[in-house]
Each structure stands twice: as structure tokens, then as C-alpha cells.
Structure 1
């Protein structure tokens, strides 16, 4: 009786540890987070990216990369696992679509997301 209780307790602890660790093991890719927006842009992709960069001027390092038929603006790092933000522009038929992602957008009130949205309309 005592050994079956120990086995049950051990299995419960093992299950809880696995559950806890699985919950903590998150993909750090900025595109996986909750803070993102998307839509269409009214200007050319290079002009749109320049607008976003201008809106962020002085607050962050930005890097524009042309990759796989899309234009990407990374904030702080070109590695999506380390970047604090990312804006992607890609062709969708006759229009251009954008997706913007920001890690910890609450920290600066979603400045990158705001810039991406404002620049899509002008």
C-alpha cells in the first residue's frame, strides 16, 4: 500500500513538472506573440518601410532586409528570436500586405504597431 502511494505521488510530481516546463518553454520568435496587426499599404514597400523607420527614429536600431519576395524591417536584431519588433511587407496579387509584430508592446504603448498602422494609411 505504501509503495503504490509513493508511485502515485511520484507520477503526479513528474506530470506536474512536465506540465510546468512545457508551459514555460515558449518559442521566442517575435511573430508568435500576441501583439501584432496586419493590413494593406497604400504606398510602395520601400516608401512604407521608410515611413515606419522615420516614425521610430531615435528610439531603436532598425534593419531592412529583402528576403523571400518580402521586405522585412527588424527592430534591435535581424534574428526573430531576439528582435523586439518586425514589420513584413509582401505582395498579395495587386496589393501589398503588411504584418507587424512587437514583443512587449505594453512597454512603449505599441509604438511599432502604431507606426506600422499610421504608415499604411498615408
Structure 2
């Protein structure tokens, strides 16, 4: 069996808005609009997909005591974590506590935590 990560799906209140954030942050493009999916191109993996959920509640970083605690976060590799962090903030991200990690941690506009890891981080 040959397996690979096809899509990483993020729940959210507004799929189009969150797809726009990540296309601008990561230099990807929308490849499916019926179910918002973004990727570098039509044949690349993994892809990010966004699913609208009624009553969506964002996770809290790094709070695990909440009724719906954070289940995961994504670490993105970038050439320059400082420049990528500045771009993320301009696009609507929020800076979060690093909680002992080595990479800068942010929350996207829907509240999902993600890291921007530069070379060697």
C-alpha cells in the first residue's frame, strides 16, 4: 500500500475567508471551490481544505482544559520565520505563546494554531 497525506481539513465558520488567509500566507491557490481546497498546484500534496461547521468554536492554545481542546496544530516550513510571521500578522493572524517550542506560534483568523519554522528551528 502506498499512502500519503492528501488533505488536512480545518473546521471553521467561513471556509472562503480561511482559504483566502492561507492562500495569501502560503502562496497557494484555490483548486476546488465546491469544497474549499488549496494547494501549490493541482497535483501537489498535502492540500489544505476548509469545512464550515455550524457553531464552530476555535481551540485555545495551549489550553487542554476546555470542553473542546486543541487537537492538533500545523507546522509550516518557511525560509524566514520573522518575515513569514509579519505577513501572518498583516493577514489577520494572532501571535500566541510558544509554550516551550522553538518556532513562532500563531492563530489563524479562525483560531487554529500554527507554527512558522525557519531553517534550523
Return the TM-score normalized by structure 2: 0.39
Q: Identify, as 1 or 2, the structure richer in helix.
A: 1
Normalising by structure 1, we get a TM-score of 0.39
In terms of Rg, which structure is larger? 1
